[in-house]
Structure 1
Amino acid sequence: MVNGSDEANTGRGPADGTGLAEASGRHAWTALALDVVIPLAVFYGSRAAGTDQWLALVLAGVAPAAGIVLTWVRQRRVDATALFVIAAMALSLLVAMVSGDPRALLARESWITGALGLWILGSLALARPFLLDVAIKVSPPGAARRFDELWRHSPVFHRWLQLASVGWGTAFLLDAVARVVMAYALPLDSVPLLGVLVLVVMLVAAQAIVMVHGRRSGALARGRG
């Protein structure tokens, strides 16, 4: 595959289904790492330092928001998805602070993943689905234009991207349900790590199904219908 710098310079490249899967996948996993690793480190580091569970969860919840704000400052633009995540964090944190219940703080994570799942599924009714929009934003100009052309003119690619959206959206919704169950049924200190493991398993399974279908249907092999 041609590297990103070559595509950016020529405005061309193998922008087929595989390229979109790689672009959106890289973005999703990078975001997941930043939004997961840092909060986990903050939570378990705070607990090791003797902080109570409620405060450790509050601090862990602030970490991703701080990262988003720093990205806004660096890029000098506000991303709608990031704004949505910030709003969901703020609302869920407010509810948890009013209740004073650490398990409510744990359950608040389900608000974010559940809403994101609904957003991905609901975006299928828009001109461009969420996953396509993400891939276009993080790809070189030539590849971005090719993705948009494939979405509008390739029935095979169109159907595959719809399946990908359903797969990822469903994975986030299942994760939201699992987080609520774990928050109120398991030892509190074990839930943050288990929540991450469940989300990773859900997303890996969804991505595997999407990739297998993409290759069998020809969406990834040819990138056009």
Structure 2
Amino acid sequence: MKRSEGSRGSRYPLLLRGFRTAADFLLPLALFYGLRAAGVSAYLALLAGTAVSLAGTAVDLVRRRTIGPVTAFVITLMVFSTGVSLIAGDVRFLLARGAWATGLAGAWFLVSAFTRAPLVYLFSRPLLEGRFGWPDDWDAVWERVPRFRRIWLVTSVAWGIALIIDCILRIFMAYTLPVDSVPALSTVLSAVTTVVLIAFANIYYQVTGAARKWSRFYAGPQSPA
């Protein structure tokens, strides 16, 4: 009974995070099309949607109270997005705002892959460490198992490349498609990119055995790389 309650309790933060992520995607989109239906210009409607998105991120940062690598990553993207939004330009430039932030994120994922703190590792650890078949004490596993370090390098590189491709597609859409269609298509692209990357990562972790602490992935003598 206790295990059931603990398992149920551990699901609630994940569900809340899922709802929050969905809201981050949908609220700015709903605000944009609502304002457009009310006759507001595309430029002002985009600025309003941007403000809502940035406000939500700012609230999250205030709640964290500490600045670690993940928080620094989020702050950098938020400041960058805010700066781009405040640059005087046409509506096409503002539509491409998300592309510049996505490209910056992709570059950061790529660079982090070759450090001791790959971004995918930092984002995954609070969700997976000691859960869903993953081992406990990732610090010890990181030092002991070179294969463990390698999976985070591979997935961080994959995320970086995919986000840079996403950036290129967003810029293409922002400057070639009808203005009112771009926010919805950008949201769809974000969802597709995220789902594909999460699916790839989970399949990769299962195939390698990294997601099963009892697998041969963690067996046998290991030495630091």
TM band (smaller chain): 0.7 to 0.9
**1:16-74 deviation digits (Å, cap 9, x = unpaired):** xxxxxxx9x98986664243122112111211222110000001111121112222333
User: Which of 201, 205, 224 lines up with 2:196 in the alignment?
Assistant: 205
Aligned to 1:186: 177
Flag structure 1 segments of 5+ consecutive residues without an equivalent: 9-22
Of structures 1 and 2, the one with the larger relative CO (CA 8 A, separation 6+) is 1
In the alignment, is the contact (CA less than 8 A) between 1:4 and 1:140 conserved in 2?
A: no
Kindly indicate which of the two structures has a greater share of residues assigned to helix: 1
Structure 2 counterpart SS, 1:51: coil
Flag structure 2 segments of 5+ consecutive residues without an equivalent: 220-225
TM-score (ref. length: structure 1): 0.78
Please tell me whether Structure 1 or Structure 2 has the larger radius of gyration of its CA atoms. Answer: 2
How many residues end up aligned between the 2 structures? 206
In the alignment, is the contact (CA less than 8 A) between 1:137 and 1:144 conserved in 2?
A: no
CA, structure 1 residues 216+136, in 2 after alignment: closer, same or farther (shift >3 Å)?
closer
Q: Report matched runs for 1:9-48 at 5 Å.
A: 32-48=21-37
RMSD of aligned alpha carbons: 3.1
In the alignment, is the contact (CA less than 8 A) between 2:129 and 2:138 conserved in 1?
A: no
* TM-fit CA distance, 1:3: 7.5
CA, structure 1 residues 217+28, in 2 after alignment: closer, same or farther (shift >3 Å)?
farther
Aligned-residue identity in percent: 31
CA, structure 1 residues 136+208, in 2 after alignment: closer, same or farther (shift >3 Å)?
closer
Aligned to 1:84: 76
CA, structure 1 residues 181+136, in 2 after alignment: closer, same or farther (shift >3 Å)?
same
**1:173-223 deviation digits (Å, cap 9, x = unpaired):** 111100000001101111011111112222222232322222222222336
Supply the distance in 1 between the matched residues of 2:155 and 2:129 (Cα, whole angstroms).
21
TM-score (ref. length: structure 2): 0.78
Q: Partner letter of residue 119 of structure 1?
A: W
Supply the distance in 1 between the matched residues of 2:166 and 2:119 (Cα, whole angstroms).
18
In the alignment, is the contact (CA less than 8 A) between 2:114 and 2:153 conserved in 1?
A: no
Comparing 135-144 and 164-173, the one that deviates more: 135-144
Determine if the alignment matches structure 1 residue 58 to structure 2 residue 52: no
In the alignment, is the contact (CA less than 8 A) between 2:95 and 2:183 conserved in 1?
A: yes
Aligned to 1:162: 153
